[in-house]
Structure 1
Amino acid sequence: MTGAVATQFRKPYVTPYEEESLDLPLAFECADGLPRLTYRDALPQEWMLGVLWARCGTAREGKVQWNLVHTLRQRRCMLKGLCRVCGKSATAPDTGRVSWILPSALAGDFRSPWPTAHPPTCKAHVGEALAAFPYLRGEAPVVCAVGDYSPVGVLANLYGEDDDGRVMETHHQIPIGLNESHLLNRALATQLIVQVMDLQPAEPVAAR
């Protein structure tokens, strides 16, 4: 999932700022007899769902990094059903369903679960999301009312060690299922993937 582009609208909630970039002092440790990626000064809360998560600040200061996604805010949106644009609830109070922009590829098969790393979008900010995230338009999107969703994986970078014991990236931004523990041990998660279920489709979104 790529980031946003500059628009005349607000800066999207999931878009990071330059001052929020932090050093990642990565290392490997032994956990249950197996090597596991960690930080040299790791805190217990930096693991969630069985994987180490990328560190980032929360100040929302400095130059906007339009082409990136803020790890913590993206994960928060996915877990709590928050809008990618404003950061507030994307749940309709009358139905309890979450508004989500999804690709038209699922049209005709709304009964099947659908994995996505794209956060929800409240109905009020669908237009802003399409303006700020052009890849959504490329998917000929539809707005769906989602009845349920649950975490199923992460987008992550995989790491290993070279012959001198230095930590090095081996794969960049690949999807990993939460049941793939052999990969999660070497992964640094950057975005959460959830599976949306019980969909009710709306009309296709007009191109902007």
Structure 2
Amino acid sequence: MIGPAATGTTLHGKPYVTPYAEESLDLPLAFEWAAEGPRLTYRDALPQEWMFGVLWARCGTAQEGKILWHMVHTLRQRRCMLKRLCRVCGKPATDPDTGRVCWILPSALADDFRSSWPTAHPPTCKAHVGEALTACPYLRREAPVVCTVGDYFPVGVLANLYGEDDGGRVVETRHQIAIGLDEFHLLPRALATQLIVQISDLQPAPQESRAW
């Protein structure tokens, strides 16, 4: 499964987190009995397909076919979040001089730099901020602010919830909802498509470092 993108981006090159049509896979979902009760799984599940106590959507890695500009590749989005990589190029988004991570945020989130915020938008390296600001209609609507982030950590997932119908078939019951990693009553029924992190220690990007 490939889920909707946090932003609909049409950059000159294909952003790292944007999937191709050929990367969409069928998901052989089923329920199994685990220690905590019924748990969503794949009929041919592998142990590494769970992370943070939740099952993750499968995606191919062929990078072939039509580019799905308004979607997001689950595994590459998660990799960007966990490894602090740029959503456009897939390279490190951390400034080697300061150790801070470059991020583009809607002004509504960045108004109070003392606060911390949850987001499913991966960071953007300094080299690609200008291209992202120019090409992304979502960012233009939201009066974006370029920030640096001191730290962040996983707090939740965007996910679809599943149950079983009267015939025992696995059916989707909720689509693309935010679920906290501490919502243990929901995680066993969830299929995660994007990782949500809590960013903190926000600062406006230094004017002298703005190459955009």
Residue of structure 2 in register with 1:59 after alignment: 62
Q: Which one of 171, 179, 182 corresponds to residue 179 of structure 1?
A: 182
Contact 1:156/1:189 (CA < 8 Å) preserved in 2?
yes
CA drift at 1:108 = 4.1
Contact 1:142/1:203 (CA < 8 Å) preserved in 2?
no
User: Do structure 1's residue 136 and structure 2's residue 139 form an aligned pair?
Assistant: yes
User: Do structure 1's residue 102 and structure 2's residue 102 form an aligned pair?
Assistant: no
Q: Extract unaligned runs of 5+ from structure 1.
A: none
Q: Which one of 111, 116, 121 corresponds to residue 113 of structure 1?
A: 116
CA drift at 1:198 = 0.9
CA RMSD between the two structures: 1.6
Q: Deviations over 1:42-74 (max 9, x none)?
A: 000000011000000112111111111000000
Q: Which one of 71, 74, 92 corresponds to residue 71 of structure 1?
A: 74
What is the rounded CA distance, in whole Å, between the counterparts of 1:107 and 1:117 in structure 2? 15
Residue of structure 2 in register with 1:46 after alignment: 49
Contact 1:143/1:203 (CA < 8 Å) preserved in 2?
no
AA partner of residue 144 (structure 2): P
Q: Extract unaligned runs of 5+ from structure 2.
A: 208-212
Residue of structure 1 in register with 2:94 after alignment: 91
Q: Deviations over 1:104-134 (max 9, x none)?
A: 1134421111100000001110122234432
- Percent identical pairs in the alignment equals 79
AA partner of residue 119 (structure 1): P
CA drift at 1:19 = 1.1
Residue of structure 1 in register with 2:8 after alignment: 4
Residue of structure 1 in register with 2:210 after alignment: none
Q: Which moved more, 1:77-86 or 1:58-67?
A: 58-67
Q: Which secondary structure state, in structure 1, belongs to the residue aligned with residue 132 of structure 2?
A: helix
Q: Deviations over 1:62-106 (max 9, x none)?
A: 111111100000000011110010000011010000000011113
CA drift at 1:4 = 3.2
Residue of structure 1 in register with 2:191 after alignment: 188
Q: Which moved more, 1:103-112 or 1:44-53?
A: 103-112
Q: CA 1:24–1:132 in structure 2 vs 1: closer, same or farther (change >3 Å)?
A: farther
User: Do structure 1's residue 21 and structure 2's residue 28 form an aligned pair?
Assistant: no
Moved over 3 A (4+): 1-7
CA drift at 1:5 = 4.1
What is the rounded CA distance, in whole Å, between the counterparts of 2:136 and 2:33 in structure 1? 40
AA partner of residue 115 (structure 1): P
What is the rounded CA distance, in whole Å, between the counterparts of 2:46 and 2:135 in structure 1? 34
Q: Deviations over 1:18-47 (max 9, x none)?
A: 111111000001111511100000000000
Q: Which secondary structure state, in structure 2, belongs to the residue aligned with residue 130 of structure 1?
A: helix
Q: Which moved more, 1:107-116 or 1:95-104?
A: 107-116
Q: Deviations over 1:159-196 (max 9, x none)?
A: 00000000000111000000001111100000000000
